[in-house]
Amino acid sequence: MRSLFIGDIVGRPGRSVVQENLRSLKKEYSLDLIVANGENAAGGFGVTDKVYQELREMGIDVITSGNHIWDKKEVYQVIDQEDRLLRPLNFPPKAPGRGYGIYNVSGKGNIGVINLSGRVFMAPSDCPFRTFDDTIERIRKVTPYVIVDFHAEATSEKKAFLHYTDGRVTAVLGTHTHVQTADAQITAKGTAYISDVGMTGVQDSVIGVEPEAIINRFITGLPQRFEVAKGTPEIRAVFLEANAQGKATTFETIELT
């Protein structure tokens, strides 16, 4: 199974660079599945039905998210109807949408994708460790391939989650902080890990936003209007290959202008 996971897509620049490069990436890596975190894809905050459909038409198979999933109210029109748009599984049980899915990959079988949110420095949510335990066996009865988008702030929480799930999933891929980390690895038990896949958008920015507003907020402590940065966007992603037992065999970071 050969997969691509695209780091947090930020606004139109992020969407445009994916549109321009995804076909060639799919051919170069002979991809079976493409997943992307899209919680910042609509104007830098949230996702709408229109943006969701645009991402799907590009060839993205599954779109994960995080704490910004509700920023655009239009998402309520789509999230209950589309099983390929995920929100963190450990959000309150009555929240709209779903937190995991099992998807058929033509000729390769099924693959599970789980979306979870951390709790350190994040909005309150249920325990991601316990939520994972409540779900993983249901997925593994169907498929050994399991990718987790762990959307969290603290690297310590992400690393702890890796050790907790090591050998039980194919990959734990960190998102949310928008800066690709240098700790990509495959453990001895066959789980691929990176603390943060990074951001797909304008890298010459403050995590995808025009710097001036962020600087003013730090200096004054006052609310500011954030705007998606202008400039040349780049893709941050990871390529993952796994064997028939769902163990990661190849794991590479991607930086693409």
Phi, psi of 102 (to 5 degrees): -115, 125
Q: By the 8 A CB rule, do 82 and 67 touch?
A: no
Structure tokens at 6: 């695209």
The Cα–Cα gap between 164 and 97 comes to: 26
Q: By the 8 A CB rule, do 241 and 2 touch?
A: yes
Per DSSP (E only), the strands in 212-247 are: 233-242
Sign (positive/negative) of CA torsion 99, 152, 202, 42? Answer: positive
The Cα–Cα gap between 84 and 102 comes to: 9
| CB-neighbour burial class of residue 253 (10 A; exposed 0-12, middle 13-18, buried 19+) | middle
Buried b (16+ CB within 10 A) or exposed e, 39-66: bbbbbbbbbbbebbebbbebebbbbbbb
- Closest by CA position to 16, among listed 231, 233, 237, 206: 233
Residue 8: its H or E element: strand 8-9
The yes-or-no answer on residue 68 being catalytic is yes
Out of 68, 151, 176, 178, the active site residue is 68
Residue 20: its H or E element: helix 11-29
Residues serving a catalytic function are: 68
